[in-house]
Amino acid sequence: MAFRGFGLGIMRRLRGTPIDEADLVIRECRQFIDGGVFFDVGANVGEVSEAMLPHASRIVAIEPDPASFAELDRRLGNRVTCVQALVGPDGEQRTFLTNTNASKSSTSVIPGEEPPGHDYFTRTSMQAISLDSLAARHGMPSLVKIDVEGCEMSVLDSAQAVLAAKPVFIMEFNALCLSNFGRVNPRDAIDRLLATFPKVEVITQQGRQRVTDPYVFLMANIIDNGSVDNVVCSWR
- Is residue 208 within 8 A of residue 232, CB to CB? The reply is yes
CA neighbor of 135 nearest in space, from 224, 39, 223 = 39
Q: Does residue 46 come out as left (phi exceeding 0), alpha (psi in the -120 to 50 range) or beta?
A: left
| Per-residue pLDDT, 48 | 96
pLDDT (mean) for 162-181? 94
Residue 208 belongs to some domain of the structure: yes
| CB-based contacts of 103, cutoff 8 Å, min separation 6 | none
CA 198 to CA 176: how far, in whole Å? 25
Residue 173 belongs to some domain of the structure: yes
Instruction: Tell me what percent of the residues of the chain surpass a pLDDT of 90.
Output: 66
| CB-based contacts of 200, cutoff 8 Å, min separation 6 | 190, 193, 194, 210, 211, 231, 232, 233
Instruction: Tell me what percent of the residues of the chain surpass a pLDDT of 70.
Output: 82
Residue 20 belongs to some domain of the structure: yes
CA 138 to CA 39: how far, in whole Å? 9
CATH code of the domain containing 56? 3.40.50.150
- Is residue 42 within 8 A of residue 147, CB to CB? The reply is yes
- Is residue 116 within 8 A of residue 10, CB to CB? The reply is no
pTM for the predicted model, two decimal places: 0.86
Q: Which residue has the higher pLDDT, 104 or 180?
A: 180
Indicate the SS3 state at residue 228: strand
| Per-residue pLDDT, 21 | 80
Express each pLDDT in 185-219 by its tens digit.
999 999 999 999 999 999 999 999 999 999 999 99
Residue 108 belongs to some domain of the structure: no
For residue 181, name the pLDDT band (cuts at 50, 70, 90): confident
pLDDT (mean) for 12-36? 76
Indicate the SS3 state at residue 122: strand
Residue 153 belongs to some domain of the structure: yes
Indicate the SS3 state at residue 119: coil
Residue 57 belongs to some domain of the structure: yes
Q: What are phi and psi of 165, to 5 degrees?
A: -80, -10
Residue 117 belongs to some domain of the structure: no
For residue 1, name the pLDDT band (cuts at 50, 70, 90): very low
| Domain boundaries, position 23 | 11-85+130-234
Q: What is the mean pLDDT of the chain?
A: 85
Q: Which residue has the higher pLDDT, 118 or 102?
A: 118
Express each pLDDT in 124-168 by its tens digit.
788 999 999 999 999 999 999 999 988 999 999 999 999 999 999
Q: Which residue has the higher pLDDT, 1 or 50?
A: 50
What's the structural domain count of the chain? 1
Strands 11-14 and 37-41: unpaired
pLDDT (mean) for 60-77? 94
Residue 186 belongs to some domain of the structure: yes
DSSP lists the bridge partners of residue 204 as none
- Is residue 144 within 8 A of residue 82, CB to CB? The reply is no
